[in-house]
Amino acid sequence: MAYIVDRRLNGRNKSTVNRQRFLNRYRTQIKKAVSEAVTRRSITDIDNGESVSIPSRDTSEPVFHHGSGGERELVHPGNKEFIAGDRIARPEGGAGGSGGKASNSGEGEDEFNFTISQEEFLNFLFDDLELPNLLKRRLAGTETWEWQSAGIVLDGNPSKINIVRSLRSATSRRIALGAGARKRLRAAEEELAALLEQDTSLERVALIKELREEIERLKRRLERIPFIDTFDLRYNHHIKVQKPTAQAVMFCVMDVSGSMNQSMKDMAKRFFLLLYLFLKRNYKKIEVVFIRHHTSAKEVDEQEFFYSRETGGTIVSSALKMMQEIMTERYPAAEWNIYGAQASDGDNWNDDSPLCQQILSHQIMPFMQYFAYIEITPRQHQALWSAYEGVGIQWPESFSMQQIVDESDIYPVFRELFARKKA
């Protein structure tokens, strides 16, 4: 029996290649474990690694071995229980007598357990997710540079010689320098051929000799034209240019009013924490603006957004007005990809919901790449949901709405909102 194992080691005496093959093979089970971990974890340790269990029946490895082949004659010992033609009952516990999960009676097999690192956990957590409609805007912040081709030049580094263009230039030069000589050579050869066909005389012999000397002189002249000259050399030219970067801003708007109980607020924080980790991990040039609101809105930092316990009444339009003001002052749409995510229980003053629809439809959505509204409630939808349905009809490509009932809905809803669109 032969086993083929890649034993090339990385710096920590672990085979990185084999580990990645293992993770790819059991990707489905690992993604399921990651999804369950996001649901049961607290906010503070949502981005840690995870211990994953895989049923032992799924960890069997393919092996190479020699088949029986050929013809064999075997003599088996007899027995006292069976004779030829008897049917043998299948052993309990499956073929071969191997058991399933371990138990306190009989034999069995334990599940295979292993731990994935924080990096691997986040890779599986945000697999196949992206910001929709991300475009490259004007350069800002820390610029990146790249080398681009800028045509052909006459001087340059020998390593950048353009062979095709150099040979083309040499061919053109040889044609131009030898055009007159080749024309006279063809005429002399035609005249010599005509004289050789006629009767030879002393005068014609002298003329033939003169023509042959002229032909030899023209051929030597053509041969002296160099195949390639330094004048023919052409070089690839490269220049350093600024590389456009996809810069984006994400507005996180969370309702912290009294109608949002602590459980709802925790679910909203979980959703926004997933969004924050996703943005910081996958996009280098991105800014996040945190806005909390009850009767009034306030721009806060990350710490206050996730851990402050401020509460009050509910006026959603205050947050949308602040968002629109910040967009106008700091994030012009010509330079930034603008995204928004709002979490609320849907409870709002009845007179305020139409105003929210108007602000979102006419003052915010025309400049947005994508806006996601998440309503966290186990009850029926409130007036704000009905108002936002009108926004969804007007902006179907860049506006999405989802409902979260309990913690198990957070990760599936998050993946649905930011799933990578198929081309």
How confident is the model over 267-287, as pLDDT tens digits?
A: 888 888 888 888 777 777 788
pLDDT category at 231 given cuts 50, 70, 90 is confident
Taking 70 as the threshold, does the pLDDT of residue 328 lie above it?
Answer: yes
Is 258 in the same domain as 213?
Answer: no
Least confident of 2-6, 298-302, 306-310: 2-6
Average pLDDT in the chain: 78
| 406/281 same-domain check | yes
Report the pLDDT value the prediction gives residue 327, as an integer from 0 to 100: 93
Q: What is the pTM of this model?
A: 0.55
- Indicate whether 394 and 259 sit together in one domain: yes
Q: How large is the average pLDDT for residues 139-150? A: 63
Q: What is the mean pLDDT of residues 189-202?
A: 78
| Distance, CA of 224 to CA of 351 (rounded, Å) | 95
Residue 41: the pLDDT is 59
Which band of pLDDT confidence, cut at 50, 70 and 90, is reported for residue 150? confident
The reply to whether 144 falls in a domain is: no
Question: 299 and 262 share a domain?
Answer: yes
Write down which residue in 237, 272, 296 finishes a domain.
237
Residues 270 and 333 in one domain: yes
Q: Tell me: do 225 and 274 sit in the same domain.
A: no
Asked whether residue 413 carries a pLDDT value surpassing 50, the answer given is yes
Q: Are residues 204 and 335 part of one domain?
A: no
CA atoms within 13 A of residue 340's CA, in its CB half-sphere: 25
68 assigned to some structural domain: no
Domain membership of residue 326 (yes or no) is yes
Residues 284 and 223 placed together within one structural domain of the fold: no
Residue count of the chain, please give it: 423
Q: What total of structural domains would you count in the chain? A: 3
Lowest mean pLDDT among 8-17, 35-44, 256-265: 8-17
Q: What is the dihedral of CA 401, 405, 406, 409, to 10 degrees?
A: -40
Residue that finishes a domain, picked among 237, 263, 297: 237
Task: Return the higher-pLDDT residue of 109 and 239.
Answer: 239
Shared-domain flag, residues 210 and 295: no
CA–CA separation, 249 and 340 (whole Å): 8
Q: Which pLDDT belongs to residue 138?
A: 44
- Domain that includes residue 29, residue range: 1-60+110-125
258 lies in the same domain as 389: yes
92 domain residue, yes or no: no
141 contacts 79 by C-beta, under 8 angstroms: no
Q: Is 28 a residue whose pLDDT tops 60?
A: yes
Flag whether 79 is in a domain: no
Q: End of a domain among 213, 237, 261?
A: 237
pLDDT at residue 371 greater than cutoff 90? yes
Position 54 in a domain: yes
**Do 220 and 307 have their domain in common?**
no
Instruction: Say if 136 falls within a structural domain.
Output: no
Is there a domain that residue 185 lies in?
yes
